[in-house]
A and B are shown apart, each in its own frame.
Chain A
């Protein structure tokens, strides 16, 4: 049974760096083909893909946010960490992590999401 759960601060100040952790179970990021992605959703708005990391440490980023994002994995802890620098109020959103396989291309398991508010 695959589960994912996001954790991190609920409130960050403008210009600060956001660090979010995705803790998962039911799969391993050392298994060939496995990946974890991050997606966000501002209140009342659409989903937006942010980043992906695969078992082989291949990393992909949204072109529009690439300069601000870093995604890493800790296989021993079953965790994926996303950092986003220079936070702005427009970055206020629910942030989701999700399981994906490279050969399938879709996100089949999602975490519950965590709401991050950017405000001074």
Chain B
């Protein structure tokens, strides 16, 4: 089955740029999505099809994919961006989430 690998944590200061990566062979053949999850809440779609921003998501959020790695970039990070971020990819028979990255805004 597919696997997606994410670093457990990323820390940035407010105003800086955060880059959260997700790696896996499945990314070479399938789009990736990114979800933001704040404590006690359901995940919310942030980026779909590698780089498309979901309606209502600030332009500070962007996505890109190169080879087997997809990256969520958050520019000018705000304290409200502190959350867990999960990548998702795969086909309909094997949809897989990454292990999640906790973004801490110091």
A residues neighboring B (CB under 8 Å)? 37, 39, 46-49, 52, 60, 62-64, 96, 102, 104-108, 110-113
Contacts and interface: CB of A to CB of B under 8 A. Distances in A.
Given A106-B33, A106-B88, A64 B1 contact: yes
Contacts of A112: 42
Q: Tell me the dominant secondary structure on chain A's binding face.
A: loop
13 contacts: A46-B86, A47-B37, A47-B86, A47-B88, A49-B96, A60-B93, A60-B95, A63-B1, A96-B43, A102-B92, A105-B49, A110-B42, A111-B42
Interface of B: 1, 31, 33, 35, 37, 42-45, 48-49, 54, 86, 88, 90, 92-100
A70 to B, nearest CB: 16
Contact of A46 (B1, B95, B100): B100
Contacts of A60: 92-93, 95
A38 B45 CA distance: 15
A52 B95 contact: yes
Given A106-B33, A106-B88, A49 B95 contact: yes
A96 to B, nearest CB: 6
A102 B92 CA distance: 9
Given A47-B86, A52-B92, A60-B92, A108 B45 contact: yes
Contacts, number: 59
Contact of A108 (B54, B86, B90): B54
A107 B94 CA distance: 15
Given A64-B1, A111-B42, A112-B42, 13 more contacts: A37-B95, A46-B99, A47-B37, A47-B43, A47-B88, A47-B100, A49-B88, A49-B90, A49-B97, A52-B95, A62-B95, A105-B31, A108-B54
A110 B48 contact: no
